[in-house]
Homo-oligomer: A and B are copies of this chain.
Amino acid sequence: MSLRHAVLGLLSAGPASGYDLLKTFELSLENVWPATQSQLYAELGRLAQEGLVRVAAEGPRGRKEYEITEEGRAELRHWLVEVSPAVNRRSDMLLRVFFLDQVGTGAARGYLERLAERAVHEHDQLLGIREFVIGQGDDALRLYGDIALEWGLRLTAAQREWAEWAAGRVAALEQEKAPEQEKALEQK
């Protein structure tokens, strides 16, 4: 149930409407905790009912500006400090690796090579973001933004190296098997 904490976290930096928050989710939280419009409005309603946020002001077009309450801030800090973070156990990417023996070495190598390419692409995008956000925010905000970005850079770099290494191992198996395939052809 981290959506609520993402919302509380964003509101801890200042009041915002559901619409505002949605933009933030699309822009900066896209790669960390995506959320849809339906989800957001529903969660804001629940948070307000439970007293963790409150409507601080109303604007044109039914705009409701939400503000975090002291109770909300307490919940945010409690979550940050006392609740241990959930590990990300599911990985579609890795699940496929387990079954790659079903498609032969050529296709398997292709899969791993595409993973490597994707990692390079993501890494480049993060480098672009880093250029863009350099020097923004105060000391603490910049630091934690940097730390998060650095994780993305290290993760994509590691993924590239691993995928290339793995593709190499599959290629080696391919070579080993090549003589056997020639033998099989000769037998025809």
Contact = CB atoms under 8 A, between A and B. Distances in A.
Interface string A77-108: 10111001111111111111111111101011
Contact of A99 (B9, B31, B92): B9
A144 B169 CA distance: 9
Given A76-B102, A150-B162, A95 B139 contact: no
A51 to B, nearest CB: 19
Q: Tell me whether chain A's interface is mostly helix, strand or loop, or mixed.
A: helix
A133 interface: no
A77 B95 contact: no
A32 B147 contact: no
A45 interface: no
Contacts of A93: 85-88
B12 A84 contact: no
Contact of A80 (B2, B89, B102, B144): B102
Contact of A92 (B86, B140, B143, B158): B86
Given A98-B148, A147-B169, 11 more contacts: A32-B91, A77-B102, A80-B96, A80-B99, A80-B107, A85-B115, A87-B93, A94-B151, A97-B144, A101-B140, A101-B143
